[in-house]
């Protein structure tokens, strides 16, 4: 699984994570969900990539699909986001504070 353009921003009300995931079929979608369990570092938000295939076979076309995640949070609550797929870490993103 590949990712690109990952970004994480936190403000006084929420944390927002966005990016893209590379999928192998035209009818596949991907989403970011909160990883369970979270892990031992309380300032790192751990997210899993979940993929699903829609109706029909879809074409074998490799393409980038957008992913996003929003959660209530306060400034300073998280300083990193770790992205996982199939129990393996893929990427770590530093959280930027919104102006």
SS3 content of the chain, % helix, strand, coil (to 5): 0, 60, 40
State the pTM of this model.
Answer: 0.91
- The model's pLDDT over 35-51, given as tens digits with 9 standing for 90+, comes to 999 989 999 999 999 99
Q: Please, how many CA atoms are within 13 Å of residue 62, restricted to the half-sphere of its CB? A: 4
Handedness of CA 86, 2, 95, 14 (dihedral sign): negative
Mean pLDDT estimate for the chain: 92
Range of the domain at 70: 3-97
Q: How many domains does the chain have?
A: 1
- pLDDT exceeds cutoff 80 at 57: no
Give dist(CA 38, CA 36) in Å, integer.
Answer: 5
Kindly state the DSSP code that residue 71 receives in the 8-state scheme: E
Residue 25 — very low, low, confident or very high, per pLDDT cuts 50/70/90? confident
């Amino acid at each position: 699984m590949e990712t690109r353009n990952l970004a994480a921003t936190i403000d006084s009300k929420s944390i927002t994570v966005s990016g893209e995931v590379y999928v192998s079929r035209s009818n596949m979608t991907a989403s970011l969900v909160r990883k369970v369990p979270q892990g031992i570092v309380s300032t790192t938000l751990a997210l899993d990539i979940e993929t699903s295939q829609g109706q029909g076979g879809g074409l074998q076309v490799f393409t980038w699909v957008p992913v996003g995640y929003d959660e209530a949070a306060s400034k300073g609550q998280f300083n990193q986001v770790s992205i996982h797929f199939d129990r393996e870490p893929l990427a770590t993103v530093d959280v930027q504070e919104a102006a």
